[in-house]
Amino acid sequence: MAVVMFAMAVDASAQAAAGASAREGHGPNRPKLFRDQPFYDPLRAEEHAARVQLLIPAWSDEFPHSETTGSRFAWQITLGRELPIVTVSSQQLDGEMNHGEWGIGLWTPVSFHMIEDFADESNPIVDTDYRFGSMVKFQYGLSDSLRLGVRYVPWAHESTHLGDEYVIIAQRSLDFERVNVSYEYQSYGISLEGSGPLGDDTFVIRHGGLKPFGKTGYYSDHLLGSDEPALTTSTRNFEASFGAEYRFPEWRTRHVYVSFELRNPVVYNYHQTADAPEERQWTWNLQLGRSAPRNERTALKDYFFQIHRGVNPYGQLRSQKDYWSAGFGWNFGF
């Protein structure tokens, strides 16, 4: 609510100045409320981005407390969106920034990420992660074919929850612990994107970083339902990421694309010792698919095949390394 009131206040205060600044060509124009702009769209291969995505049919490595062994059918659903609050730009035309033009805006990303296992008894929801926060995105037109983007998340929260049926099964093993993976964080991203050498192709190159607030890192030092410290907290509390995406020229109404994200997350270790210290594992996510042109009026924006390899991306299961999942995905936009 505060964000909305802030946006409306910015809008009101800029009304009088809008006409004069517009004449100057590159001054800020009237703020636009609740209108999306493509200042820093999530990389298609970005894990846990706020969008509407189904991964089905899909398969997964077994989970740490699965009763049945081996790979399994496991679909993944992401429901979310980066909700636009207010944008200000030197450019009247909506869309990407042309040469010398800039745009900045405030968004609220909200998303849910779920994975369901179809191998164990009663097809348990394995985990659901919830994310929300605030996000500032900026774009500057370095030329008509090259843009610089910046994304800064000053505050966001992630809350993760194992499914109750998964927990019921997991409790049958003596070593199961219910860890409260829940944290606030900030993150940044830098993006260089533009047109490729073939004219109708596009590229994106990215770097980002995520850091949780607070000394306890990503999770509490006590188990859920207990106040007694029983866990060693995470200490390597910064996660770097690198990404790249290339869209080939349009072919039969869509672009073939390849999108890749590489992260260096910590493998959660709830009982660190000198012999078993906390470690990291390079984790990658690869998508190969077809994407609709930006203004195409279709709800199905992308369809793709995805492979994830490295640390399990879901909640307390981030203690699992060498995890894999793969499947066919569908991105929707409205």
**Minimum separation from the CB atom of position 136 to other proteins (A):** 23
**Minimum separation from the CB atom of position 255 to other proteins (A):** 7
Q: Give the E-state strand segments of the chain in sequence order.
A: 32-33, 52-60, 72-89, 102-117, 125-143, 146-162, 179-195, 202-212, 219-223, 239-251, 254-263, 266-267, 279-280, 283-291, 300-310, 323-332
Judged by beta carbon, residue 103 or residue 109, the one nearer other proteins is 103
What character string, x for contact with other proteins (CB under 8 A) and - otherwise, covers 49-88? ----------------------------------------
What character string, x for contact with other proteins (CB under 8 A) and - otherwise, covers 260-299? --------------------------------xxxxxx--
Which of 91, 139, 285, 312 touches other proteins by CB under 8 A? 91
Alpha-carbon span 130 to 220, nearest angstrom: 17
Number of Cβ within a 10 Å radius of residue 101: 19
Q: For 171-202, give the DSSP string.
A: TTSTT---EEEEEEEEEEEEEEEEE-TTSS-E
**Minimum separation from the CB atom of position 62 to other proteins (A):** 40
Alpha-carbon span 268 to 247, nearest angstrom: 35
Alpha-carbon span 220 to 184, nearest angstrom: 12
Compute how many residues bind other proteins; rule: CB under 8 A: 27
Residues from 208 through 247 that contact other proteins (CB under 8 A): 247
Alpha-carbon span 65 to 58, nearest angstrom: 19
**Minimum separation from the CB atom of position 30 to other proteins (A):** 7
Residues from 123 through 182 that contact other proteins (CB under 8 A): 144
Choices 124-132, 194-202, 225-233, 265-273; region in contact with other proteins by CB under 8 A: 194-202
What character string, x for contact with other proteins (CB under 8 A) and - otherwise, covers 5-24? -------------xxx-xx-
Query: Which two structure tokens, joined as six digits, stand for 233?
Result: 């907290």
Which of 2, 16, 70, 92 touches other proteins by CB under 8 A? 92
Which of 10, 14, 30, 203 touches other proteins by CB under 8 A? 30
Residue 98 binds other proteins, judged by CB under 8 A: yes
Alpha-carbon span 8 to 2, nearest angstrom: 10
3-state secondary structure 87-134: EEECCCCCCCCCCCCEEEEEEEEEEEEEEEECCCCCCCEEEEEEEEEE
**Minimum separation from the CB atom of position 172 to other proteins (A):** 52
- Residues in contact with other proteins by the rule CB under 8 A: 18-20, 22-23, 25, 29-30, 91-94, 98, 144, 195, 199-200, 202, 247, 250, 255, 292-297
